[in-house]
Each structure stands twice: as structure tokens, then as C-alpha cells.
Amino acid sequence: MTAPRIVPLSAEDAAKTAEQVQIDPAKAAFSIYRVLLHQPGFAKQVNDMAETLMTTCRLEPRLRELIIMRIGWVKKGVYEWAQHWWIANQLGVPERDLLAVRDWQAHDHWSPVDRAVLRATDETLEHGTISQPTWEDCAVHFPTDRDRIELVATIGNWKMMSEVLTSLAVPLDDGFSPWPPDGMGPA
């Protein structure tokens, strides 16, 4: 990673600012918040969207983490990969699945829903939209409008976050390793 483009706030200053905009001050320990809280309104919106997608969304957490890990890999988002490696592990997502997202098409252990979600993620990253055939495939697995909106919002949110984190060169938090577990990042 390169040097941060915006120096992170101290944990104390970030916690005070977080509290002012109604973000859990405990989150201020993380580099993402220590950088984003330079613009409190944006930090609040980012926090609220992530919280919604991670806590009230019906998308299975494992699928969400596969989406995020795939985006982190394709976009070369080391912060996103490292943080969500940890989060996915806490959720019990198998390490083999996390590693396989790097070249998911080469692995045959994916379920039909896994393949549909990963293909939708790749198409969004490459073309900015999900193709009609992939959309129809996803609709089989996500039968309601709410489910399909949550899928698209999850892909879009973490695509945007990956670009923000990478462009700002947000530093890894203490104790996090780049590209766990093997240290091998994208070419």
C-alpha cells in the first residue's frame, strides 16, 4: 500500500466526531472511520448504508462476504480484502471459498446461487450493470424485488467503498495483514 492520502484522525478525535454524527464511537478505532470522519456527513452515510446491508438485509451474510471479497480482489482493495477476510472468518465462511473468489470460474464447488452472485458482481465491475441472462439467473435465487434490490445495492455499495478506500489509500488497521492468508495480492 502507498502512504495514506489523508492522514487519519487520532482515535480520540474520530470518536468525538463519530459521536456527533451518531456513529458508534467504537468504530472510530478503525482506519476507515479515522479517514472518512474528516467529512462527517459522508462517513455517516457510508456507515448507515453498510449497517443496513449488514444487519437488516436478507442477503445471506456468506454471499455478501463473497461479493465483498471478489470486489476487493478485482479492484485491488487491500483494506477491503483484509478487513473482510477477518469478518468472513468471524461469520464462518470457509477459507477455501474466500480464496476461491480470486479465480472463482476455475472452481467447481460453487452452488448455482454462488455462481449467479459472483457473475453478477463481475459484470457490474466490468460493465456497470448486470446482463439480462445473469439477472434472470439471479431472479431464480432472489425471487422478490426487495431481494434483488439488496443484491444490487450490496454490489454497488462495496464497489464504491473499494474505490474510495483505494483512492484515499486508507491504511490497514493494526494487526491486519495485506492479502491474508498467503500475502499474495492481485497482479
For 75-109, write each residue's pLDDT tens digit: 999 999 999 999 999 999 999 999 999 999 999 99
- In the chain the domains, ranked by start, together with CATH numbers, are 11-55 (no CATH), 61-168 (1.20.1290.10)
Q: What is the structure's pLDDT at 1?
A: 58
The predicted-structure confidence for 156-171, as pLDDT tens digits, reads as follows: 999 999 999 999 999 9
* Interatomic CA distance for residues 3 and 139, integer angstroms: 42
Question: Please, which residues have CB within 8 angstroms of residue 52's CB and are 6 or more apart in sequence?
Answer: none
The length of the chain in residues reads 187
Question: Three-state secondary structure along 16-35?
Answer: HHHHHCCCCHHHHHCHHHHH
- How does pLDDT run across 6-20, given as a tens digit for each residue? 999 999 999 999 999
DSSP 109: -
pLDDT of amino acid 184? 87
Q: Which of 76, 135, 66 is nearest to 96 (CA)?
A: 66
The pLDDT tens digits of the residues spanning 130-146 come to 999 999 999 999 999 99
Euclidean distance between CA atoms 90 and 86, whole angstroms: 6
Cell numbers for 126: 466490468
Q: State the pTM of this model.
A: 0.95
Give the phi and the psi of residue 77 in degrees, each rounded to 5.
-90, 85
Separation of alpha carbons 126 and 4, rounded Å: 27
